[in-house]
Amino acid sequence: MLLNRKLIAKVLSAVASVVGAAMLLPAAVSAVYKEWDVFRIFLLCSLPVILVGQIVLRTTPSQKTEDLRMRDGFFIVGVSWLAMSLIGALPFMFSGAIPNFADAYFETASGFTTTGSTILTEIEHLPRGILFWRSFTHWLGGMGVLVLTIAILPKLGIGGQKIMRAETTGPTMDKISFTVNETARTLYKIYLVFTLLETAMLCLGGLSLYDALLHTFGTVGTGGFSSYNASVGAFHSGYVEWVIGFFMMACGVNFSLYSNIYKKTPLKIFKDVEFRVYVGIICGSTLFITVMLLIHNYYNGIADTLRTAFFQVSSIMTTTGYGTVDFDLWPLPCRFVLFVLMLVGGCAGSTGGGMKVIRAILVYKLVRRGTFRKLHPRAVSPIKVGDTTISAETMSGVTGFVILFLFTTLLSTLLISLENVSLTTALSSVVACLSNIGPGFEAVGPTQNFAFYSAPAKMLLSVLMIAGRLELFTIILLFTPVYWNRKK
């Protein structure tokens, strides 16, 4: 079956235009700080992309929305994320900030996928415009550039539902409105409210508007890029840590739940099973790590220990990756809890990565039902989440995803281990990228980076970031023969 090339070209050109237009903001930042060389670089990268995108967009004939099939949607999403990481890497390379292509692509893919892994060793020496673009990619990628395209370009006449289904995280996507365009716009309104609110609160904590914006981009997008080598720890502020920790936790929640606030039914949020489990995991993990750190006398007093534990649990659980301390030095039980949180990740429909809390719930219920049926083989015991009965098709998809996630992790760890690193480094590198977390353990721990890896390893990890951000199937489908079989 042939792909719908005209519609695909139309959507890809719109995405390119959005990314190109986004570069004008860091160009303006460069002008404010009188970084004229960087300013010219951004214009050189931005204007041609916008021009080509608009030419293709306006010269490609419009077609009916239903002409875009699910096959086309997966292709658009997969290729868009690969391509926009390439476009976004141009300012890094042309400015000389990251001259190597593999490094620049890795950093950009890490930004757009909200991973936060980095190859940079001296972050604070980079131009402010470059650092702004680096963090702004988190904000763009957090809710999804394609969702943004649908939100602001509804007249494209594209099959938005198919694109959102291929890009949105989690086994299901809740529609807030009857139309996809309105759903996308509502999600971005919520996203913008979080952005403005956190920025204001960080400014009240003494941060400059520049630092507040950069760390807000990394928080609401659950990305983790900072403008300082010491990350959030550079501020030495308990207030800032609590604010960022809270917003990381808030942005790990399914954004569609926040629509209940608009509908004046905020208490419905607490009826959501995934939300309750998510909050329970964070609270339980924070309490466990706090007790362990107090027993081993890592920090002074309960208040500092609790704040540090909550911040790191919130950062890892939501796959943000910000740091205030080197958690790689914590006791082994604490590191094990953090590793488990890396695998679980945030809620479906959030900006966080990982396998998602709802999948963990469904796998647990599947195992519990299997145990129950050993004792009662004739019993009918459907799997339910709250009052909703989960279909066999959904359970099959969840099981398939978990198996694919584990298989991809094992195979990728084997490939990365060829770099002659320890098993812990190789495994945590793969999980950190596939779950879009950022830091791992040992050589890629919170005070280290990914610069020592070879170019092929960095490209593999970049693809893992994009695959993890798009729930694996979207990218893997592009490399399977059945996808390209015209008879299918």
Q: Is residue 402 over pLDDT 70?
A: yes
Q: Is residue 411 over pLDDT 50?
A: yes
State pLDDT tens for residues 385-401: 877 888 888 888 888 88
Identify the pLDDT of residue 283: 97
Q: Comparing 227 with 183, which gets the higher pLDDT?
A: 227
Rounded to the nearest angstrom, the gap between the alpha carbon of residue 370 and the centroid of all alpha carbons in its chain is 33
Q: Which of 219, 229, 180, 179 is nearest to 198 (CA)?
A: 219
Identify the pLDDT of residue 249: 95
Identify the pLDDT of residue 178: 44
Give the whole-number percent of the chain exceeding pLDDT 70: 87
Q: Is residue 328 over pLDDT 80?
A: yes
Q: Give 200's contacts (C-beta < 8 A, 6+ positions apart).
A: none
Name the pLDDT band for 312 (thresholds 50, 70, 90).
very high
- Beta-bridged to residue 388, according to DSSP, are 385
Q: Which of 47, 26, 50 is nearest to 38 (CA)?
A: 26
Q: Rounded to two decimals, what is the model's pTM?
A: 0.90
Q: Which of 215, 417, 398 is nearest to 321 (CA)?
A: 215
pLDDT-wise least confident of 227-241, 258-272, 363-377, 451-465:
258-272
> What's the mean pLDDT in 147-162?
54
**What is the average pLDDT value for the chain, to the nearest integer?**
86
Q: Is residue 201 over pLDDT 80?
A: yes
Identify the pLDDT of residue 110: 95
Secondary structure of 261-321 in the HEC alphabet? HHCCCHHHHHHCHHHHHHHHHHHHHHHHHHHHHHHCCCCCHHHHHHHHHHHHHHHHHCCCC
252 close to 347: Cβ distance less than 8 angstroms: yes
Measured CA angle at 371 (ends 370, 375), to 5 deg: 110
Identify the pLDDT of residue 263: 72
State pLDDT tens for residues 23-54: 999 999 999 999 999 999 999 999 999 999 88
Which is it for strands 388-389 and 384-385: parallel, antiparallel or unpaired? antiparallel
CA atoms within 13 Å, Cβ hemisphere of 419:
25
Domain locations in the chain as residue ranges? 1-167
> What's the mean pLDDT in 419-441?
94
State pLDDT tens for residues 205-261: 999 999 999 999 999 999 999 999 999 999 999 999 999 999 999 999 988 888 777
* Alpha carbon distance 265, 424 (integer Å): 46
Q: Is residue 480 over pLDDT 60?
A: yes
Q: What are the tokens at 346?
A: 């945030």
Q: Comparing 289 with 381, which gets the higher pLDDT?
A: 289
* Alpha carbon distance 184, 123 (integer Å): 34
Identify the pLDDT of residue 425: 96
C-beta pairs of 184-187 under 8 Å, 24+ apart in sequence = 184/147, 184/148, 184/150, 184/151, 184/160, 185/151, 185/152, 186/259, 186/262, 187/143, 187/147, 187/151, 187/255, 187/256
Name the pLDDT band for 113 (thresholds 50, 70, 90).
very high
Measured CA angle at 132 (ends 345, 92), to 5 deg: 95
> What's the mean pLDDT in 440-448?
93
Name the pLDDT band for 372 (thresholds 50, 70, 90).
confident
Q: Comparing 459 with 477, which gets the higher pLDDT?
A: 459
> What's the mean pLDDT in 50-70?
74
Identify the pLDDT of residue 451: 94
255 close to 350: Cβ distance less than 8 angstroms: yes
462 close to 456: Cβ distance less than 8 angstroms: no
Q: Is residue 13 over pLDDT 80?
A: yes
* Alpha carbon distance 138, 438 (integer Å): 12
Q: What are the tokens at 447?
A: 């005070």
Identify the pLDDT of residue 369: 87
State pLDDT tens for residues 16-25: 898 999 999 9
Identify the pLDDT of residue 336: 96
Identify the pLDDT of residue 261: 75
Phi, psi of 385 (to 5 degrees): -120, 105
Q: What are the tokens at 83?
A: 């391509």
Which of 64-73, 324-333, 470-479 holds the top average pLDDT?
324-333
